[in-house]
Structure 1
Amino acid sequence: MHPAGTPRHVLFLNWRDTRNPEGGGSEVYIERVAAELVRHGHQVTLFCAAHEAGPAEETNEAGVRLVRRGGRHTVYAWAALSYLAGLVGLGPLSARRCGRRPQVLVDVCNGLPFLAPLWSRRPVLMLVHHVHRQQWPVVLGPRAARFGWWVESWLSVRVYRHCRYVTVSEATRAELATLGVAPERVAVVHNGTPQLPPTDAGRAPYPLLVALGRLVPHKRIEVALRTVAALSGELPELRLVVAGQGWWESHLRQLAGELGIADRVEFRGYVTEEEKADLLAAAWVALTPSLKEGWGLTIVEAGAAGTPTVAFRNAGGVAEAVVDGRTGLLAEDVDDYIARVRDLLCDDEMRQGMGAAARAHAASFTWPAAGERFAALVTTGVVARAEELPAEACYLVP
């Protein structure tokens, strides 16, 4: 068994990276935690799908090596084959070029896992941001959705039955328990709050809403559009900026036209970190109408700018990212969501008070703290066998 604190080579398996046009909060989490592990002295490789925005292999500024192979659906097979064949610096044939072989694998499940325990004898840590029970029917057709849910809820639970899990919220930890994953096997490592660039932007002189994220069906930007339509009569200067990109954008633009609010909604597309900082500082309220989030990174980003958020109570980890009634408001349904947004827009004192509380709440989550917790998971007896461990130990089983 390796002594605690021994540097290791950690291999993250994730479908995307932050340079991928479809990357989101999950990818930010992986790369920020990976950077912290490098800071703790570990060697880190991230294997993900290839895309035109990034080379096949590179080492980023934080010292994390990225290997990109396969596509949206084939990245899973590429990971297994690359590892077993010793290609792209992951297996034994390239050990001299890349350094030692990975000693710990972090298998990131975004609905579909990499099934690493079936093809690697190394310890595997299963990382789950949230359970996709509600999202499968929204994203896929009925048959494909049933298959996806079967993989996530039945097959995956059995393949990883000897592995330790990590997730980003207590809400997901509770959801995993409903699938048969014992809570004591699941460690919670919260997101840190990304530090936005400094900005001189002030609050907009008119009611401004912002919705930040990928434009895909389960983000439910439609709710943000319907909120603007419902409140525009009472608030004639109301505007919404939708920042993000995705294949659902054409549908959203069409809906904005049908609702008669096309002139009130700006689809900003991809925004730089500087543009995001300006936008969040200018907004009165941030909208997160997602069907489900493991945590809600954009919520704490908005909070760091002093902007409260309105989200749905039953949307997973957002109920931890938003402290209801203190840093923002949580709604029960669409009508309630519209009402909660109206409350914040029309009550300056409440909105400003929640914005100040949101800033303090966001500051309590840091990436160094997340990295410290994650580093403990991969260094404390990570290669010990189950029969060697005390019941209370936080270990992985190879």
Structure 2
Amino acid sequence: MPGEQRADAVAKIGDLAAGAGIRRVHVLSWRDLADVEAGGSEVHASEIARLWAEAGLEVTLRSSYAQGQPTTVQRDGYRVVRRAGRYMVFPRAVATEMLGRLGPRDGLVEYWNGMPFLSPLWERRPSVVVLHHVHGEMWRMVLGAETPALAKAGELLEGRIAPLAYRRSRIVTLSESSKADIVQQLGLRAANVDVVAPGVDARFSPGGERSASPLVVAVGRLVPVKRYDLLLAACAEARRTIGDLQLVIVGEGYERPALEERVRALDGDSWVRFAGFLRDHEVVDLYRRAWVVASASAREGWGMALTEAAACGTPAVATRIGGHEDAVRPGESGLLTDGTAAALGAGLAQVLSDTALRERLAAGALRRASELTW
């Protein structure tokens, strides 16, 4: 978005807030952007907080503690308060808000990321709930092996109990496909769910040179829902056709040891690299070098890595799921496949082996990304 248009858009946010009598907004989020396991939800929350602060609002974002980070900090014009662990953040954040310990607020934003803060039960000021996607089988993916009872409790809470609290709430989600899941699986009214697609930061742009050899890049937390084991198997399948394929995985998470073992089982030490956590400019450089960005996720609200890479002129090959179906325009900015190693591997091989197709998808990816602004 050009500078003048952006300034006008930011000013409009301030005018709308002033007209509604809202000056101080509190945001509840499970994790903060500085957390080593931060993902798309945290990027979204931080971008919204930054824009609102730029528009003149007083914004406080409350999250769980982030490893090695101070508990309170000012960032991009808004206050970040990081206290309590992964699970205790929910009751403690609610108690803090109810007791007014973070100061007065005129409105509240809750990021419902699996476990809810249940804000409709206690908040009486104007509020909105941001729900990127239904977690569904993610409860079993994360908790099922060791604590199946807890996984069932999570599914019950999200699917049956929490929707009763949110039945009158205004919900914001990122894509039409995610809205359909919310309506169908949680039973919330379609009229109460608004779709607002995420933007792409201006730092994601074309430049540099592509890798000399076919390079596939995947970005995201190393957790079960991302299905990196499936992506590894798909890349191994694609290497039957594209023998010099290289895969770089960006991100950290508790699944890394198991994934590293999987790489060894595939004899992939020579063609798979775990890059860990990278700084923003390093991610941009990697997107620009990649021939393809890939995702094997089982659930996504959108798939921000796919549109970030698209803004760098890199097409996507991803699983056909809610979120991806909106982030990627099949046949125009990338390919969507069934969630099997054979199908995903075939999609990767198709794009990597066909220069004309890859160039056409790259041009389409740039067009798609140009439509997305914060």
TM-score by length of structure 2 reads 0.91
Matching residue within 86, 90, 114 for 1:72: 86
Q: Residue type of the partner of 2:72?
A: E
Superposed counterparts of 1:38-117, under 5 Å: 38-61=53-76, 63-87=77-101, 89-90=102-103, 101-117=104-120
1:165-198 superposed Cα distances (whole Å, 9 cap, x missing partner): 1111111111111122111111111110122267
Counterpart of 1:202 in structure 2 is 209
Task: Please tell me whether the aligned partners of residues 7 and 41 of structure 1 are also in contact (alpha carbons under 8 angstroms).
Answer: no
Counterpart of 1:318 in structure 2 is 324
Q: Residue type of the partner of 2:319?
A: F
Counterpart of 2:47 in structure 1 is 32
Task: Please tell me whether the aligned partners of residues 109 and 128 of structure 2 are also in contact (alpha carbons under 8 angstroms).
Answer: yes
DSSP-derived class of the 1:229 partner: helix
Matching residue within 26, 36, 42 for 1:21: 36
Query: Structure 1 residue 329 and structure 2 residue 332: aligned?
Result: no
User: Which structure 2 residue ranges, 5 or more long, are not aligned?
Assistant: 1-16
Q: Residue type of the partner of 1:220?
A: R
Equivalences, count: 353
Q: In structure 2, what is the Cα distance between the partners aligned to 1:270 and 1:325?
A: 31
Q: Residue type of the partner of 2:292?
A: V
Query: Structure 1 residue 193 and structure 2 residue 200: aligned?
Result: yes
Deviation larger for 233-242 or 208-217: 233-242
Q: In structure 2, what is the Cα distance between the partners aligned to 1:125 and 1:156?
A: 15
Counterpart of 1:118 in structure 2 is 121
Distance 1:191 1:199, change over 3 A: closer
Counterpart of 2:270 in structure 1 is 263
Task: Please tell me whether the aligned partners of residues 31 and 66 of structure 2 are also in contact (alpha carbons under 8 angstroms).
Answer: no
DSSP-derived class of the 1:107 partner: strand
Counterpart of 1:390 in structure 2 is none
Task: Please tell me whether the aligned partners of residues 107 and 125 of structure 2 are also in contact (alpha carbons under 8 angstroms).
Answer: yes
DSSP-derived class of the 2:240 partner: coil
Query: Structure 1 residue 4 and structure 2 residue 10: aligned?
Result: no
Counterpart of 1:159 in structure 2 is 165
Counterpart of 2:294 in structure 1 is 287
Which has the higher relative contact order, 1 or 2, with Cα contacts under 8 A spaced 6 or more apart?
A: 1
DSSP-derived class of the 1:268 partner: strand
Task: Please tell me whether the aligned partners of residues 229 and 260 of structure 1 are also in contact (alpha carbons under 8 angstroms).
Answer: no
Query: Structure 1 residue 184 and structure 2 residue 191: aligned?
Result: yes
Q: In structure 2, what is the Cα distance between the partners aligned to 1:283 and 1:39?
A: 33
Counterpart of 2:14 in structure 1 is none
Q: In structure 1, what is the Cα distance between the partners aligned to 2:261 and 2:333?
A: 33
Matching residue within 234, 237, 251 for 2:241: 234
% identical aligned pairs = 36
Q: In structure 1, what is the Cα distance between the partners aligned to 2:274 and 2:138?
A: 24
- 1:3 deviates by 7.2
- 1:272 deviates by 0.9
DSSP-derived class of the 1:333 partner: coil
- 1:199 deviates by 7.6
Counterpart of 1:373 in structure 2 is none
Q: Residue type of the partner of 1:163?
A: S
- 1:269 deviates by 0.5
- 1:41 deviates by 2.5
Q: In structure 2, what is the Cα distance between the partners aligned to 1:9 and 1:286?
A: 39
Distance 1:184 1:200, change over 3 A: closer
Counterpart of 2:4 in structure 1 is none
Matching residue within 341, 363, 372 for 1:365: 372
- 1:86 deviates by 3.0
Counterpart of 1:149 in structure 2 is 155
Q: In structure 2, what is the Cα distance between the partners aligned to 1:288 and 1:324?
A: 14
Q: In structure 1, what is the Cα distance between the partners aligned to 2:222 and 2:36?
A: 11
DSSP-derived class of the 1:214 partner: coil
DSSP-derived class of the 2:201 partner: coil
RMSD of aligned C-alpha atoms?
Answer: 1.6
Distance 1:106 1:261, change over 3 A: same
Matching residue within 115, 139, 142 for 2:142: 139
1:41-94 superposed Cα distances (whole Å, 9 cap, x missing partner): 222110100123321111112x1111111110000011112122332x24xxxx
DSSP-derived class of the 1:329 partner: strand
DSSP-derived class of the 1:209 partner: strand
Q: Residue type of the partner of 1:169?
A: S
Counterpart of 1:342 in structure 2 is 349
Task: Please tell me whether the aligned partners of residues 242 and 353 of structure 2 are also in contact (alpha carbons under 8 angstroms).
Answer: no
1:2-37 superposed Cα distances (whole Å, 9 cap, x missing partner): 973534211110011110111111101011011112
Q: In structure 2, what is the Cα distance between the partners aligned to 1:129 and 1:177?
A: 13
- 1:150 deviates by 1.1
Q: In structure 1, what is the Cα distance between the partners aligned to 2:286 and 2:46?
A: 24
Counterpart of 1:383 in structure 2 is none
